[in-house]
Amino acid sequence: TAALGEETLASASSSSDSDTGGASPPPRKKHRASAAEGAGEPGASAVLTGLSGVVLGRGAHSQATSAIHFNRSVVNNLSSSMQANGAGQGQESSELSCLNSAQNGESSSVGGTHSNGLLSSTDNGNNVGTSNGSSVGPCTGTSAASTASSSEVGSLKKKKRLTQAEEDVIRLIGQHLHGLGLNQTVDLLMQESGCRLEHPSATKFRNHVMEGEWDKVSICLQWLNNRTYSGQHGICEREILLQKSQSILGRMKFLLLQQKYLEYLEDGKVLEALQVLRGELTPLKYNTDRIHVLSGYLMCSHAEDLRAKAEWEGKGTASRCRLLDKLQTYLPPSVMLPPRRLHTLLRQAVELQRDRCLYHNTKLDNNLDSVSLLLDHVCSRLQFPCYTQQILTEHCNEVWFCKFSNDGTKLATGSKDTTVIIWQVDPETHQLKLLRTLEGHAYGVSYLAWSPDDTYLIACGPDDCSELWLWNVQTGELRTKMSQSHEDSLTSVAWNPDGKRFVTGGQRGQFYQCDLDGNLLDSWEGVRVQCLWCLNDGRIVLASDTHQRIRGYNFEDLTDRNIVQEDHPIMSFTVSKNGRLALLNVATQGVHLWDLQDRVLVRKYQGVTQGFYTIHSCFGGHNEDFIASGSEDHKVYIWHRRGELPIAELTGHTRTVNCVSWNPAIPSLMASASDDGTVRIWGPAPFLESQEADGHMDS
């Protein structure tokens, strides 16, 4: 083997000289190889020594190329020799690995390589990564790849410092995964990120609650409370925090002891439950009314009776989870996250997108399973009631008023042609068909009001009309035709919420409260009424008068007060379902939104043309998020309640649009009445005509 190594070394030196045209390697390399022959493995040592000289040589590129040819020759000869001798296999195979690495211009290590490509470092000194990129081991060398690898290891070993927001996100994800039962994934996430899902004491607290270990829970609770409200504060601040601490501690103890008490009762341990009630709950002096209720549960004969009366799930995971959710609300998020926090944030994000959507007109579903979290919420205006679905032409003169019934199944329209037409709404197709015609209104019909149960309909005439008609819609019969005096002017009417009374009045100073038979119950003298509305409390009646104001009148104690004051005549107004907002059509000004509770002007809507015609606007859409009004420029305007600019302008009528009514049960259905003698029914654009409808809409 020694002879073979010596001969090969000489051959390699000759080859290098012939390739480069330079001198042979220094004789000392040959001398070292010969001197190594006396060792235990002379051939292998000579080969390795010769190889080291070639790899570490500082010669030109051509010498390195010759050395690589030399390496391959040595490897082949050495491999044959090793197979023949069968000795020194472990060390020489390591050397072969080093040789192969050296041929590719890479450094190698005994420690091996991880699957992620990072070098593993060992403590035995055989493979040490240095900051300058060199690798020291059985095969010593310097290369560009070695430098890059060591730099990558150094940079990744420095763990990136997470921001507070990133830590919060990791904790939220961890809590959500924990709720799904993916505990191993949570452990791995926390370990790799270096974050902590919650304080260890909070974890103990949670486990004790879920196991029903109430004595241990009390100890953990006291510790958590001290940790939450302790710290370096001023004297005053410390006293405030101490008071807050004691208050919150009392609430949390009460909830825990209540659970403990109920579980004792369910288990039939009446004496223990009584001891908790007397010795632990009562001394807290917190929520004594609830303690009285709890004491009554001692009389329950069996567990089912207890769970029913206490509205409690019973001893077990369900009730303890609910208890834990309540307790978590009293602890800061740094100690324990609020329950299902990620789910709460996602739901809030979805709700915010819906609130900002101009055309969202469907019921809000708080269940996240009903929406996609991968896309932003967007509603198309093609789903909005901007497209003419039907034109009703049965009236033969100007149509002054229209109003859907409270249940949305019918539409009433009043006209100058002295008739009221009742239309039936098809619940499937949303098409309207004529149900019946109510005749005999000599002056025409300028206002209509449905009773709360939609059984009756009251019709009023214009300014010079002193009569009022009360119709039974279901039978088509006239129940009452009321007229107190020929000099009266009954132009407006409003139903009391009880459905047994109504108020009516006009601009000549009449203001009456009557029963269903037209009998006068109360009257208010000298009030020139333009429009009326009864609030939900059944006591206050709102009336706009000729003094450009809306006043509240109480018919029980005969008191009144000013609520709204405008600078121009109030032609009409309507009130939202909750009684909080009023929508006014103000002469020469347009549509104004008022807050009746705070008595402030909230918003002035732009675009509509309002002179001195009486135009009736309305709230509409789901949750009454939209406002619609007719206009003297022959259009219907729609606004989102929070925006002053219109989101849609509907064209089609050829004269002034006097009234708009939004179906209260079908948010995508709306009606408008016009002086052109027609009633238009508006709805979403049909699928096949959606593009055409989009072309006809201006927004």
156 against 228, higher pLDDT: 228
Q: Is residue 157 part of a domain?
A: no
Q: Can you give the C-alpha Rg of the chain in angstroms? A: 45
Q: How many domains does the chain have?
A: 3
In this prediction, residue 405 has a pLDDT band, given cuts at 50, 70 and 90, of: very high
What is the three-class DSSP state of 684? coil
Model confidence at 226, pLDDT cuts 50, 70, 90, reads low
C-alpha torsion 264→267→271→272, nearest 10: -30
Residue, of 203 and 51, whose pLDDT is higher: 203
Q: Judge if 316 and 442 occupy the same domain.
A: no
* Whether 436 and 461 share a structural domain: yes
Same domain, 354 and 403: no
> Which of residues 349, 379, 409 is at a domain's end?
379
Q: What's residue 187's pLDDT?
A: 92
Alpha-carbon distance 488 to 228, whole Å? 72
Same domain? For 331 and 347 the reply is no
Across 353-467, the runs of DSSP E, i.e. the strands, are 387-392, 399-404, 410-415, 420-425, 432-438, 447-450, 456-460
Which residue range is the domain that position 375 belongs to?
A: 340-379
Structure tokens at 45: 């040592």
3-state SS string over 544-565? Answer: EECCCEEEEEECCCCEEEEEEE
pLDDT tens-place string over residues 421-472? 999 999 999 999 999 999 999 999 999 999 999 999 999 999 889 899 999 9
Amino acid (1-letter code) at residue 98: C
- Please report the sign of the dihedral spanned by the C-alpha atoms of residue 173, residue 177, residue 183, residue 189: negative
Shared-domain flag, residues 455 and 584 = yes
Residue at which a domain ends, from 325, 352, 379: 379
Say what the pLDDT of residue 125 is: 39
- Same domain for 415 and 556: yes
**How confident is the model over 479-511, as pLDDT tens digits?**
999 988 888 889 999 999 999 999 999 888 888
- CA-CA distances (angstroms) from residue 578 to 55, 452, 535, 665? 89, 15, 9, 16
Query: Measured between alpha carbons, how far is 541 from 518 in angstroms, rounded to an integer?
Result: 18
Task: Indicate whether 538 pLDDT > 90.
Answer: no
- 596: pLDDT strictly greater than 70: yes
Amino acid at 565: Q
CA 547/CA 570 separation, integer angstroms? 9
Are the beta carbons of 450 and 443 closer than 8 angstroms? no
Task: For 189-253, give the DSSP string.
Answer: HHHHHT--SS-HHHHHHHHHHHHT-HHHHHHHHHHHHHHHH-SS--HHHHHHHHHHHHHHHHHHH
Indicate the pairing of strand 420-425 with strand 410-415.
Answer: antiparallel
Residue 132 lies inside a defined structural domain of this protein: no
Q: Which residues, in sequence order, are CB contacts of 10 under 8 Å at separation 6+? A: 30
Residue with tokens 């009903």: 370
CATH no. for residue 620?
A: 2.130.10.10
Dmax over CA atoms of the chain, in Å, equals 142
Q: Which two tokens stand for residue 25?
A: 């390697």
DSSP labels, 625-651: -EEEEE-TTS-EEEEETT-SSEEEEE-
Residues 518 and 623 placed together within one structural domain of the fold: yes
Are residues 456 and 424 both part of a single domain?
Answer: yes
pLDDT tier at 186, thresholds 50, 70, 90? very high
**605-634 pLDDT, tens digit each:** 999 999 888 999 999 998 899 999 999 999
Cβ neighbors of 324 (< 8 A, separation 6 or more) are 206, 209, 210, 339
Say if residue 541 is in the same domain as residue 611: yes
551 and 510, same domain (yes or no): yes
CA distances in angstroms from 507 to 385, 524, 546, 553, 615, listed in the order given = 35, 13, 8, 16, 17
Rounded Cα–Cα distance for residues 30 and 66 (Å)? 17
Domain presence at residue 387 = yes
Per-residue pLDDT band for 661 (boundaries 50, 70, 90) equals very high
Q: Which of 323-327, 500-504, 533-537, 613-617 has the lowest mean pLDDT?
A: 323-327
Burial letters 201-240, b for 16+ CB under 10 A, else e = bbebbbebbeeeebeebbebbeebbebbbeeeeeeeeeee
> What is the model's pTM?
0.65
**Does residue 136 fall inside a structural domain?**
no
Indicate whether 100 belongs to any domain: no
Q: Which amino acid is at 559?
A: T
Contact 535, 579 (CB under 8 A): yes
Whether the Cβ atoms of residue 511 and residue 505 lie closer than 8 Å to each other:
yes
Check whether residue 347 and residue 429 sit in a common domain: no
The pLDDT > 70 percentage for the chain reads 72
| Residue 638 φ/ψ region, left for φ over 0, alpha for ψ in the -120 to 50 degree band, beta for the rest | beta
Q: Collapse the DSSP code of 499 into the 3-class scheme (helix H, G, I; strand E, B; otherwise coil) and give the result.
A: coil
- State the average pLDDT for the chain: 78
Residues 291 and 344 in one domain: no
Model confidence at 237, in pLDDT bands (50, 70, 90)?
very low
